[in-house]
Chains A and B, each alone.
Chain A
Amino acid sequence: MRSRFLLPRIARLALALVALSGCTSDLHDFSQPPESAAMLAARRSRMFATADMRSALRAAIAALQELDFIVDRADLASGAVSGVKADQYLMRVTVTAAPSGADRLVIRAVARYDVTAVLEAAPYEKFFAVLARILALEPLPPG
Chain B
Amino acid sequence: MAHGTQVCFARTPRAIIEPMRQRWLAAIILALLSACMPGEIPKQSLQFAEENPARRRAESRSFDTTDETKLLTSSAAVLKELGFKVDVRSDELGVLAASKKGTDYNIGDIATAAATTLLSQVTGIGSGTAFSKDQSMRASIVTHPAATSGAVVVRVTLQRVVWEHDGTYSKSELVTDPAVYAEFFAKLAKAAGVEAHEV
A residues neighboring B (CB under 8 Å): 5, 12, 16-21, 23-31, 54, 57-58, 61-62, 65-68, 70-76, 81, 83-91, 113-114, 116, 118, 120, 122-123, 126-127, 130
Task: Give the distance to chain B from A7, nearest Cβ to Cβ, in Å.
Answer: 15
Q: How far is the CA of A130 from the CA of B25 in the complex (A)?
A: 53
B105-146 interface (Cβ within 8 A of A) = 123, 125-126, 138, 140, 142, 144
Q: Which residue of the partner chain A has the closest CB to B158?
A: A70
The answer for the CA separation of A71 and B126 in the assembled complex, in Å, is 39
Question: Which one of A23, A83, A114 contacts B33 once the chains associate, using CB atoms below 8 Å?
Answer: A23
Q: A26 touching B140 by the CB < 8 A rule?
A: no
Asked if residues B172 and A20 are in contact (CB atoms below 8 Å), the reply is no
The 0/1 profile, CB within 8 Å of A marked 1, for residues 15-45 of chain B is 0001000000100010011011111111001
Q: Is the CB of B126 within 8 A of A90?
A: no
- Knowing A17-B125, A89-B169, say if A58 contacts B39 (CB, 8 Å): no
Q: List 10 A-B contacts (CB under 8 A).
A: A57-B93, A58-B144, A66-B50, A74-B90, A74-B97, A75-B88, A85-B45, A122-B46, A126-B48, A130-B50
Question: Could you say which residues of chain B place their CB within 8 Å of the CB of A12?
Answer: 25
Interface size class of B (residues with CB under 8 A): 35 or more
Inter-chain contact B95/A29, CB cutoff 8 Å: no
Given known contacts A58-B94, A113-B41, is B88 in contact with A72 (CB within 8 Å)? yes
Apart from A68-B49, A73-B88, what are 5 other A-B pairs with CB-CB below 8 Å? A27-B38, A31-B46, A65-B51, A68-B48, A73-B97
Q: Say yes or no for B81: interface residue by CB 8 A criterion.
A: no
Q: Which of B167-189 contact A (CB under 8 A)?
A: 169, 172-174
A71 touches which of B36, B97, B125 (Cβ 8 Å): B97
Cα distance A25–B155 when bound, in Å? 37
Known: A71-B97, A81-B95. A26 touches B48 (CB 8 A): no
List residues of chain B with CB within 8 A of the CB of A30: 40-41
Complex CA gap A71/B95 in Å reads 8
CB <8 Å contact, A70 and B138: yes
Nearest first, the 4 A-B pairs at minimum CB distance are A23-B36, A89-B172, A74-B95, A72-B97
Contact B157 A70 (CB under 8 A): yes
Whether B159 sits at the interface, judged by CB under 8 Å, is yes
User: Once the chains bind, are B38 and A28 in contact (CB under 8 Å)?
Assistant: yes
**Bound: A85/B172 CA distance, A:** 10
The reply to whether B93 and A76 form a contact with Cβ atoms under 8 Å apart is: yes
